[in-house]
Amino acid sequence: MPNGFFGRILEVDLEAGQTQVTEFAEAEARKYFLGSGLAARRLFDDFEEALGPLHPDSPLYFMSGIFTGTPLPGTSKLSVCCRSPQTGIWNEATVGGHWPAEFRRTGLDGICIVGRAAAPVYLYVTAQGAEIRSAQHLWGRDVYDTGEQLRSEVGEKARVATIGPAGEKAVLISSIIFDPPNTRVAARGGPGAVMGGKNLKAIVVEGDPKSRVPLADASGLNAHLKEEIPKIRKNTQGLHDFGTSGGVVTVEAYGDLPIRNWKLGSWPEGAKRITGQAIQPGMLDHHYACYACPIRCGKIYKVADKGLFGHGPEYETLGMLGANCLVDDPLAIVQANELCNRYGIDTISTGAVVAFGLEAFERGLITTSDTDGVPLHFDAPSMLYLVNAIGRQERVGRLLGKGVRLAAQELGRGAEEFAVHTKGLEYPAHDPRGHVSMALNYVTAVRGACHLEALSYFLDRGVKAPDFGYVTPPDPHRSDDKPPIVVNLQNYLSVFNPLGMCKFLFLGGVGPVTIGRWLNLVCGWDMSMGDVLLVGERLFNLKRMYNVRLGISRKDDVLPPRLYAGAKPDGRAKGVLPDIGNMLYHYYQLRSWDDEGIPTREKLDELGLGMGA
């Protein structure tokens, strides 16, 4: 048996009601790692353009990373990969918590699901095998109720991944919720709709407590971790204290916070009211840690008199359902966060499309005839009204649940001018006018507007990446020096999901040199920093080629009008607009892509991908 993985994938055909285990070779794992890397290779090889994202035979992958379930800190990640029903292109949604590590104890590295069950089912996976069971009694239940019911049936130690009512109805911004109410989420791009389209309500896993991922050098790894973990703890103390919610005030000060559907530039008093430091003391029940993670960034909130209990809102949720909707009421945001979790919808896309809907109402494109007479404003009641409408698929919620791109196309009459997305994916709560490197990342990121594919704003705020020589913060508003930064960080971060690594390890000081060492201790390989980055570059180009086959090119690598033509009126980023044309030109050169943004034959050959990728 190889070290670092089992070499086994569970293949599930829901239409036939059959499961089987297939194997893959170590050479494949070394070339693509696991997680979204191996899934990208498989999805590319199985590519059939005629199979739309919601076609029963369009595959859905749940793939653990190589490090998932090992003692390495911050490595309890799993990737859910598919063709996105929201964007129509590549999608990977990554989740942490304890489900991924429990899944690894079944002796499997991944699951590939095809087909559509004739009636609602759930998948029960153990070390002894897999069963497809009826979920008729679960259909229509929210995420929290489903998790509670399944644990009562299977056992409290079982781990549950489930969709809510939104996923059942194939709402395009629906997510998959893991371990409710602790609630870790594979959120972006609509993976919940893919599960719903397959009549698959949930996947329940229960591993063998004695099972462990085989390690090449367990004693060497333990000795290394005694040195490494204290450094990670020290570098991530703020995340331990407040999670990402503690960053709202800092983000606003950089001009990075989306405010009132990305129109305003400054909101200091509102930011103070919704930051974690302000709301956590009255609502925090306890801290939550993912498997084997010393950071413990998760925050479980409890508001007994409102019946609220579960994972509190992270920064992105506070930014999108709070500032972007001009809502400074913490309780309303916590309520909206729980509603999104119970329905199973992505809080980022929900906050974006709610803000879009509020502005559309102001412009007369949505009227009270669409809302059963309810007037809409940039305030808490309107925000909560639209969250419920989307989750229940009622009235205007049926339109907004499609995301801002499709909603704007259906509304017409200039709606696309204030629909903030790239390639159909709504922007997260980081403004590319506050950190212009993020503009370049957003337009080139493989799943659409994704901040996690580069995280270059970290450098602007003083986070060091010494392996690359980045030890001094760059000017966040300067464009000409950003292309090499974005290329390097995209290649680096492209290995995180395939390895099962949390992006907070970047903040913790874990660079590609350390990642190479971890691979050598876990897998027994001999990988340098250059080897690690080569895999990252290979995977980034492979996913780009998947998108190219779906028609993606330079024409799609664009910022939305509000972010390339409308400068912020005030705040630290006042007047700043990214020079996206020049940045993109130099980025393509560095990537060895042609003028249309397509990887050249020479680059694909260099990366071992070949003409057909």
Tokens of 604: 């694909």
CATH number of the domain at 8-206, please?
3.60.9.10
CA 357 from centroid of its chain's CA atoms: 23
Give pLDDT, residue 302.
Answer: 96
d(CA 240, CA 581): 39
Give pLDDT, residue 346.
Answer: 98
d(CA 162, CA 595): 43
Model confidence at 464: pLDDT above 90: yes
Domain with CATH 1.10.569.10 in the chain: 219-425
Q: Tens digits of per-residue pLDDT, 531-562?
A: 999 999 999 999 999 999 999 999 999 999 99
d(CA 65, CA 387): 33
Domain 433-558+579-606: which CATH number of 3.90.226.10, 2.40.50.460, 1.10.599.10, 3.40.640.10: 1.10.599.10
Model confidence at 228: pLDDT above 70: yes
Give pLDDT, residue 49.
Answer: 84
What lies within 8 Å, CB to CB, of 21 at 6+ separation is 8, 9, 10, 11, 108
Q: Output the CA angle 465-467-468, nearest 5 degrees.
A: 75
Model confidence at 56: pLDDT above 90: yes
| Percent of the chain whose pLDDT exceeds 70 | 100
CA-CA-CA-CA dihedral for 212, 215, 219, 221, to nearest 10 = -100
H/E stretch holding 292: none
Q: How confident is the model at residue 266 (pLDDT cuts 50, 70, 90)?
A: very high
Tokens of 572: 């630290």
Give pLDDT, residue 55.
Answer: 96
First and final C-alpha spacing in the chain: 29
CA 15 from centroid of its chain's CA atoms: 29
d(CA 162, CA 206): 15
Domain with CATH 3.60.9.10 in the chain: 8-206
Does residue 165 have a cis bond before it (omega within 30 degrees)? no
Give pLDDT, residue 1.
Answer: 72
Instruction: Give the residue from 68, 92, 64 showing the smallest Cα distance to 78.
Output: 64
Give pLDDT, residue 72.
Answer: 97
Give pLDDT, residue 51.
Answer: 92
Give pLDDT, residue 611.
Answer: 57
> Pairing relation of β-strands 159-162 and 176-178?
antiparallel
- What are the E-state strand segments in 220-291? 284-288
d(CA 584, CA 19): 45
For the beta carbon of residue 219, count every other beta carbon within 10 angstroms: 9
Q: How confident is the model at residue 48 (pLDDT cuts 50, 70, 90)?
A: confident
Is the CB of residue 376 less than 8 Å from the CB of residue 366?
yes
Strand order in 121-126's β-sheet? Answer: 129-134, 121-126, 200-206, 159-162, 176-178, 184-186
Instruction: Using DSSP, state whether 460 is helix, strand or coil.
Output: helix
Q: Tens digits of per-residue pLDDT, 446-455?
A: 999 999 999 9
Q: Tens digits of per-residue pLDDT, 482-498?
A: 999 999 999 999 999 99
Domain with CATH 1.10.599.10 in the chain: 433-558+579-606
What value does the mean pLDDT take over residues 99-118?
98
What value does the mean pLDDT take over residues 354-375?
97
Model confidence at 613: pLDDT above 70: no
- Following DSSP, what letter does each residue of 203-234 receive, concatenated? EEEE--TT-----S-HHHHHHHHHHHHHHHHH
Mean pLDDT rounded to a whole number for the chain: 97
H/E stretch holding 515: helix 512-523
Q: Tens digits of per-residue pLDDT, 424-441?
A: 999 999 999 999 999 999
What value does the mean pLDDT take over residues 279-300?
95
Q: How confident is the model at residue 50 (pLDDT cuts 50, 70, 90)?
A: confident
| Percent of the chain whose pLDDT exceeds 90 | 98
CA of 492: how far to CAs of 28, 33, 161, 421, in Å?
A: 19, 13, 29, 24
Domain 219-425: which CATH number of 1.10.260.40, 1.10.569.10, 3.30.450.20, 3.40.50.970: 1.10.569.10
Q: Tens digits of per-residue pLDDT, 163-207?
A: 999 999 999 999 999 999 999 999 999 999 999 999 999 999 999
Q: Tens digits of per-residue pLDDT, 560-575?
A: 999 999 999 999 999 9
